[in-house]
Chain A
Amino acid sequence: MNTQVTIAGVTLRNPVMTASGTFGSGMEYGEFVDLNKLGAVVTKGVASVPWPGNPTPRVAEVYGGMLNAIGLQNPGIDVFLERDIPFLKQYHTRIIVNVCGKTVEDYVEVVERLKDAPVDMLEINVSCPNVKEGAIAFGQKADALFGITSEIKKHAGQPVIMKLSPNVTDIAEMARAAEAAGADAVSLINTITGMKIDIHRRTFALANKTGGMSGPAIKPVALRMVYQAANAVKIPVIGMGGISTAEDAIEFLLAGASAVSVGAANFHNPYVTEEIIKGIEDYMKTYGIEDIREMIGAVK
């Protein structure tokens, strides 16, 4: 039985990865899951310099999910190269580094610094809804996305995954813009912008007022967008958004995702990634599926 998938020439032992920002660089969840078993670890976004992130409260629960407005707090690329990459290199999993920035130059600087680092792929975050500059500004207009993608491709030493925002009118158009600019893959969805109000205190639940919604409640929206993107482009699509069971992950594969990421579900169940991997294998056995690639996009 084959569970391997290949994205932009990089082979993953299985299609299950972690969603950026929910798993740090794997250190914390390494106490719960065997990182060697994961298809890939996608790191928390890293910028050229340390970012302090937003004030608290940064997280709030909503029905069937959560809002977050962390604001891409990160220690900067220097510490990341010294600490996080060597940590992940101890494991036989693929390393995908999520890159964030405020300007094109910021992104390019991080990408350049990672050029000779032992990382397998880059995921470019142009879709974080919680920072004022950069990030999502590049991810909501097709021409801006095309521009930053082509610039990053000029400097990148590894395959480039553009992480798309769901907060757009036409996801297919965005996926096509990334592909046309040379992206090796796209991943989606990032969180959906949302809000919660504390009616007793008459304040916003998050200090940032708005936040990105994730969790099981967003899964149908994510699945629809992954299907649309997968049908719009030839490059691989990595699907995510509310995946918390093997059944959820299988839906995304059938809709056209070549791999999937698990995010907020880690907060509810720190063992969930391994359970999903096992559940996909069980499904393949049940239905006599020899090669996981038969499942990708099988529902037209």
Chain B
Amino acid sequence: MGKKKINARVYSQKEIAAGIFDMRIETDLAETAAPGQFVCLYPKDKSALLPRPISICEADREKGLLRLVYRVAGQGTAEFSGYPAGEEIAVLGNLGNGFPLEAAKGKKAFLMGGGIGIPPMLELAKRADAEKQIILGYRGGAAFLKEDLERYGKVYAAAEDGSMGTKGNVLDAVRENGLWADVIFACGPMPMLRAVKRYAKEQGIPAYISLEEHMACGVGACLGCVVRTRETDAHSHVNNARICTDGPVFEAGEVEI
């Protein structure tokens, strides 16, 4: 399970929604990848020093393929999106702790993904032994990964522009459909995660949320990507956990977001 930086090969690449790319890479990192973990990708552009952390969408152990679904957010991800099949790409992985699968076992669960927080829900949906209610929040446009997720549970969609499912966000979809759960797994933009945290507290259920932050090392050394924690963190001895190493998944009550 050790971390390593390797050169992988792009197996396929396609744009699945405006600015959202689906890239599969050939690497043995797929054999050990856990849902909720991430990898760091490095641009070839020498002016770009830092890795781009990208969540693992799916890991195909038999074929040795990692599926990464990412949004083009700047020059680095724009470069990746131009890689054709066969291109070499530098990858550091597998990083972070994933979603706790034992917390899902036998439970009625919400798997909530918002925007580019949807991809990690796919591997989680494949691996979680739970009654899965998958709730996806989009701004609008194409409902990327919705069909993939429908194979693993009942999917509810919400779109801010009202173009599909519930008009609004993931919690609007929960209310509109009268849903409930014993446990929540969520990844998405910070306002969504804050709302999920509040909702979980009101319901008295645990919520495991995946956070993101700007990173420099990805391995816990630089202390760039910290989140304030309720309790003193065992590594830092202040209230700052490292998202890359102690997370990216945290129980919502443990972090102050």
Contacts and interface: CB of A to CB of B under 8 A. Distances in A.
A118 interface: no
A270 B223 contact: no
A58 interface: yes
B238 A58 contact: no
Given A59-B214, A267-B49, A269-B5, A68 B237 contact: no
Contacts of B214: 56-60
A264 B236 contact: no
Contact of B216 (A27, A53, A59, A76): A59
Contacts of B213: 56-57
Given A61-B49, A268-B42, A22 B236 contact: no
A268 B240 contact: no
A274 B42 CA distance: 20
A86 to B, nearest CB: 16
Interface string A169-208: 0000000000000000000000000000000000000000
B222 A61 contact: no
Interface stretch (A5-13, A28-36, A136-144, A247-255): A28-36
B225 A56 contact: yes
A36 to B, nearest CB: 18
A215 B245 CA distance: 23
Interface in B1-43: 2-5, 42
Interface in B128-185: none
Interface in B213-249: 213-227, 235-240, 245
Contacts of B215: 59
Contacts of A297: none
A63 interface: yes
A21 interface: yes
Nearest to A24: B221
Interface in B39-76: 42, 46-51
Interface string B199-224: 00000000000000111111111111
A70 B215 CA distance: 11
Nearest to A60: B214
A267 B236 contact: no
A76 B221 contact: no
Contact of B221 (A50, A56, A57, A266): A266
B239 A267 contact: no
B124 interface: no
Given A59-B214, A79-B237, A28 B219 contact: yes
A64 to B, nearest CB: 5
Chain B interface category by residue count: 20 to 34
B122 interface: no
A146 interface: no
Contact of B240 (A52, A59, A269): A52
Contacts of A265: 49
A199 to B, nearest CB: 12
* A52, A59, A267 interface centre (most CB from chain B within 10 Å): A267
B92 interface: yes
A267 B131 CA distance: 40
Nearest to B245: A28
Contacts of A270: 5, 92, 217, 219
B238 A64 contact: no
B125 to A, nearest CB: 30
B216 A216 contact: no
B42 A75 contact: no
A63 B43 CA distance: 13
A68 B239 contact: no
A28 B215 CA distance: 15
A50 B236 contact: yes
B49 A268 contact: yes
A227 interface: no
Given A28-B220, A61-B50, A75 B3 contact: no
Nearest to B75: A61
A58 B222 CA distance: 10
B223 to A, nearest CB: 5
Given A50-B238, A75-B238, A29 B219 contact: yes
Interface of B: 2-5, 42, 46-51, 92, 213-227, 235-240, 245
Given A53-B238, A56-B225, 8 more contacts: A52-B240, A64-B47, A68-B216, A75-B235, A75-B236, A215-B49, A267-B50, A267-B217
Listed from nearest, the 5 A-B pairs whose CB atoms lie closest are: A75-B237, A59-B224, A24-B221, A28-B221, A52-B238
13 contacts: A22-B221, A28-B220, A31-B2, A32-B4, A50-B237, A52-B238, A53-B238, A59-B50, A64-B47, A75-B235, A264-B216, A267-B216, A269-B5
